[in-house]
Structure 1
Amino acid sequence: MHDPGIYALIQLMPTVLRPPSWALWAAATALDDLADQPDAKQTERAARVEAWTHALQRDLAAGASTDPVRHALVDTSLRWHLDLSSLQGAMTSTLDDVRGRHLTDWAAWRSWCNEGIAPWVDQVLHLFERAGVPMTLRLDRQQDYRRFIDGAQLTDTLTDLSADLAQGLLLLPQEALQTYPRAEEDLRQRRWSPATAALIRELTALAREWLTRPAMTTGMHPGAATVLDTAASLMRAQLDAVDAAGPTLLKHAPHPSLIARARVLAPARLRSSLAWSLTPLALPGPRRPSVTASDPSLAADDTAFRPPPAHPSGAVPPQIAAEQMPFHVAIIMDGNGRWAQQHGLPRPQGHRAGTAAVHEMVYGALEIGLRHLTLYAFSTENWKRDAEEITTILEAIRRDLDAGPLRDLDVRQRWSGHPDKLPQELVQALMREERRTRTRTGLTLTVCINYGGREEITRTAAALAQAAQAGDIDPHLIGEDDFTRHMPQPDMPNVDLLWRTGNEQRTSNFLPWHATYAELHFTPDYWPDVDRRDLWHALTTYCRRSRRYGNAARVPGPPGS
């Protein structure tokens, strides 16, 4: 272990989780070492990283490896049933780091953080979940988690500044460097100047702010909370060492003193030991079979997916020109309860029947090449319904997630909504699928559960107010782009087509911000009676509409529409 802080954090985990955590950390470290080898040229380092990742794919297929680090990772994957596909993006990110990066602003820098760090963190979260003590990350604290990861990456970047500069790398955004004229030139020349000192002071202060998120662990298991709180404290101690290093920061990596580390770790060890001693933990089961090289579910390669099953009738999607195809379709799945009553069944049975129609929409979207599909599954107003119906709806969603009928399709799954009142098991299942499919590039499927459009806008306004109060944004210059950036799903594109089944003609508080210019499509059939052919019909109907956006003649949709 190169980083004693990471070793100390893993020691705070329950004993059963230490070996798999060490395996994950060792793999990440091995890749970084290959990327940072000072005795090799850039092309050689890139080739070694690429060779290592390809060897991992072969080792996963074989179920073992002659390389001790890869063998530990393969064994961890098979024992704990981890899906390592999300690490493919992190490994590609390491390869890109070798080839050099130019980070224009903080947004690009954060994207780099998300590529390189988040997938490894997700694997640790999976381990806690498998052990029966999920490190539940509240959706209303997502901004805190993102900032925490930013703070961790910035701390790591400042610590490794000397090693990176020695290789000609400066992994800081131009937006930060331009604040202090000559700072970039001085850093690249490894000169300690007033501009360099001021820049480092500002960045360490920013990293401390990002790492200090006291509400982040609220409601979390005390053992898991201790790990995160201790990580934040160790990184703040590391930042103290960066500040104290002065000119030597450009010559070698600083480290906190043994006394500073002991002050953090001694009480943390006591708290974690007590927490885990009182917690029953699930042990890993027998190793699952290793995959074969021809198996499309090969864990380290997330590019091979099965096609959606054909429609029983043999129907195929219509040919729609790319410029006419809507980018984002949103559906209000209405009529489940009335369908059940029409068939002499209790209302809750209609929601179970509607699950098949959801699968059909996904199959149809994949076949025709739709990029974004958003489904309205449960609104904030639906809590007014009968308790049995509510339970059936939420349980049907959870069971479908656990069954995984979409697992082998090229579908990125996301959830939009609020976690309050939702069963914890459902929240965990939703977040698990988000993490597992985050690197997929086919259809993006967003399911809105406990979602309300006005509530979403209210939350966004509150986030903007907090940003203005913190000085991150000028309240007099707030525009639509600023509002969009602070939404719970900032990258959700505008809705082109909003379709509602069930013979009702209203939008019911669904995506009011995104659907401002959406074409509306209402159909009489109840949701359980529709299939992919109805989706295709809605798309062809859309193509016949005239999209003006205020102009006199038909014009293409705006960017992101």
Structure 2
Amino acid sequence: MRTKPRPASAPLDTSVPLDTATPASRGRATPRAPKDQDPTLRAAYRLCRRTTRQHDPAIYALIKLMPATLRPACWALWATASVLDDLADQPDVEPARRAARVEAWTGALKHDLTVGTSADPIRYALVDTAGRWRLDLTSLRGAMARTRDDAHGVRFPDWAAWRAWCGEGVVPWVDQVRHLFERAGVPMTLRLDRQADYERFVDGAQLTDVLTDLSTDLAGGLLLLPREALEPFPGAEADLVRGRWSPAVAALVAELTALARRQVTRPAMTRGMHPGPATVLDTAADLMRAQLDAVEAAGPTLLTRPPRPSVVTRARVLVPARLRSALAWSLTPLTVPGPRPPGVGASDPGPAAEGTRLRPPPPHPDGIRPPRIAADQMPCHVAVIMDGNGRWAERRGLPRHEGHRVGTAAVYEMVYGALEIGLRHLTLYMFSTENWKRDTEEITTILDTVRRELDAGPFRDLNVRQRWSGRPDKLPQDLVDALRREEHRTRGHTGLTLTTCIDYGGRDEITRTAAALAQAAREGEVDPHLLGEDDFARHLPHPDMPDVDLLWRTGNEQRTSNFLPWHAAYAELYFTPDYWPDSDRRDLWQAITEYSRRQRRHGAVPAPLTRDPVSDNA
């Protein structure tokens, strides 16, 4: 899970025979290329294998714990990440040229995915992997762009910026491996109620790598630690830059090593998971703890060469892990993909695939255009309580659940209208934690409607980034999986951010955030005596969600119903009598127009309004 692999010149610990078969695995399939592959493709996969092993033996060892049929695909993914990082890290090339080389390589990959082949062996293996396993690689766009930007150097003011950098660079690649397990019929199901554990695990993995590669990074002029971590140790930053081991540096390393150890120790993350993927993650944690032991023992040599665990230590971790994984996979039927059709790259990547142009929203049937709102009067975030579906149906003599089905058209309209007027954030309250009290048929209809819409992907070829907020505990697993897939599929879109709140409750969100903050304080990540609103906001499920400017409720009710209490503390409230199925984009535009006429004070004295901020453009 490295963001920045070790350079090829770094010493590799290959003394443990990673390719040696354990007794339990002898006679089982080995990860040779399928018979339908041509010699060039087989050679491409072999190169990916060597590249992965050379750049990161630990990742290579973890891939060896996976089913043989998945290993070539994993090698292709990690070799791609390694090549991009090498292009961005070339010390003898100026940053602009490095960034241009990364951009050229990723641009060539887009073309290769379209035509289904490549003259570059690593891209050829990735194209084959994407087509054979039906992987949607659009989620990698952000990671590749971040690698390009890293060529210019990177600095972090605080832990939040550092974590965002780690997440952007690592999580998309790891998610592709999760998709591989899913395609093989063994989902690497992470307990979504332990999402914070997953995120901290990734943080711990990255911090372990930063500490391990401290000497290599410093030699290249990089210090990949946030200023927030350095400030409590005066003089440590200057000493590190000079390559000098001092008491301040020793104290800093001890503090960060202890933090990384706590972060990677997350036993609850793999509870209930299939034993195969669980073994991979548990072994990753064991290897990282062994690596942290080596960091602690290195002392001043940490600044001159990367520390490595001993052969005996690695063997103590890997040998039993191989036995466990071999047993797990021997009892697991796997889905093996057939040959990739000739000339086909990433099969069924969806309308938002690389190289596909995003379309504008369809116009209103009456040709009505949105009003022009002055930029300083435009809300950034509109949240909507979509009330009145059931009552709309009852007034027409229909079952209540029919109103929810018809209300889907209003959701389309709101998204189209938000895109047309230039709204940045739209959050829709679809199903609350209190809605479980309703009739079973109505609940089933609501959730089935959401699932069908996710499968259809009506916004996938629009510039809409989709997100979900809520609890996963009671929701059907296939719905949770569909919500997460859509998040990953659209994460690179830069227009409207559409957040759907499903099994969401505001008090529940605050309670869970308080629990996460308490855990962070317990682990030493925050000082409980110095907590502020920013600390709380960083531990919310979506810490980058801006405050709500306008909260609109349909259905002739005038209450906020436990919806976004933290974000809507200063929201303008807007209530309308029409039921949700009767709403369209014109109602959203009217709500925004009403907002633009209000004076936002936030406790200050209002400035005089000297002009009408709205002019209609019919």
TM-score higher than 0.5 here? Answer: yes
Report if the CA contact (8 A) 1:328-1:494 is conserved.
Answer: yes
Structural mapping, 1:96-495, within 5 Å: 96-284=149-337, 287=340, 290=344, 297=351, 299-300=353-354, 304-495=357-548
Closer/same/farther in 2, CA of residues 409 and 555 from structure 1, 3 Å limit: farther
Report if the CA contact (8 A) 2:262-2:523 is conserved.
Answer: no
Closer/same/farther in 2, CA of residues 7 and 470 from structure 1, 3 Å limit: closer
Within the candidate set 99, 115, 125, 1:72 is matched to: 125
Unaligned runs of 5+ residues in structure 1 are: 557-561
Report if the CA contact (8 A) 2:257-2:292 is conserved.
Answer: yes
Within the candidate set 48, 51, 70, 1:17 is matched to: 70
Counterpart secondary structure, 1:215 = helix
Closer/same/farther in 2, CA of residues 555 and 240 from structure 1, 3 Å limit: farther
Counterpart in the other structure of 1:559: none
Segment drifting more, 117-126 vs 129-138: 129-138
Counterpart secondary structure, 2:497 = strand
Counterpart in the other structure of 1:29: 82
Q: Which amino acid aligns with 2:273?
A: M
- The TM-score normalised by the length of structure 1 is 0.93
Question: How far has the Cα of 1:23 moved from its partner?
Answer: 0.7
Q: Deviations over 1:87-116 (max 9, x none)?
A: 222122222222111222222211211121
Q: Deviations over 1:60-91 (max 9, x none)?
A: 22211111111111112222222222222212
Question: How far has the Cα of 1:287 moved from its partner?
Answer: 4.0
Question: How far has the Cα of 1:38 moved from its partner?
Answer: 4.3
Closer/same/farther in 2, CA of residues 541 and 46 from structure 1, 3 Å limit: closer
Aligned identity (percent) is: 73
Counterpart in the other structure of 2:115: 62
Question: How far has the Cα of 1:452 moved from its partner?
Answer: 0.9
Q: Which amino acid aligns with 1:238?
A: Q
Q: Which amino acid aligns with 1:448?
A: C
Question: Distance in 1 between the 2:166 and 2:512 partners?
Answer: 25
Question: How far has the Cα of 1:296 moved from its partner?
Answer: 10
Closer/same/farther in 2, CA of residues 519 and 37 from structure 1, 3 Å limit: closer
Question: How far has the Cα of 1:298 moved from its partner?
Answer: 6.9
Report if the CA contact (8 A) 2:361-2:419 is conserved.
Answer: yes
Question: Distance in 2 between the 1:88 and 1:231 partners?
Answer: 26
Question: Distance in 1 between the 2:516 and 2:265 partners?
Answer: 18
Question: Distance in 2 between the 1:447 and 1:260 partners?
Answer: 47
Number of matched pairs: 553
Question: How far has the Cα of 1:332 moved from its partner?
Answer: 0.9
Closer/same/farther in 2, CA of residues 480 and 57 from structure 1, 3 Å limit: same
- The TM-score normalised by the length of structure 2 is 0.85
Q: Which amino acid aligns with 1:478?
A: L
Counterpart secondary structure, 2:384 = strand
Report if the CA contact (8 A) 2:112-2:345 is conserved.
Answer: no
Closer/same/farther in 2, CA of residues 468 and 208 from structure 1, 3 Å limit: closer
Question: How far has the Cα of 1:554 moved from its partner?
Answer: 5.1
Question: Distance in 2 between the 1:476 and 1:39 partners?
Answer: 47
Q: Which amino acid aligns with 1:184?
A: E
Report if the CA contact (8 A) 2:463-2:496 is conserved.
Answer: yes
Question: How far has the Cα of 1:371 moved from its partner?
Answer: 0.6
Counterpart secondary structure, 1:77 = helix
Counterpart secondary structure, 1:279 = coil
Structural mapping, 1:90-101, within 5 Å: 90-101=143-154
Question: Distance in 2 between the 1:408 and 1:180 partners?
Answer: 49
Segment drifting more, 177-186 vs 418-427: 177-186
Counterpart secondary structure, 1:137 = coil
Question: Distance in 2 between the 1:517 and 1:250 partners?
Answer: 50
Question: Distance in 2 between the 1:513 and 1:41 partners?
Answer: 46
Question: Distance in 1 between the 2:514 and 2:339 partners?
Answer: 49
Question: How far has the Cα of 1:301 moved from its partner?
Answer: 5.0
Question: Distance in 1 between the 2:488 and 2:117 partners?
Answer: 26
Report if the CA contact (8 A) 2:390-2:404 is conserved.
Answer: yes
Counterpart secondary structure, 2:450 = helix
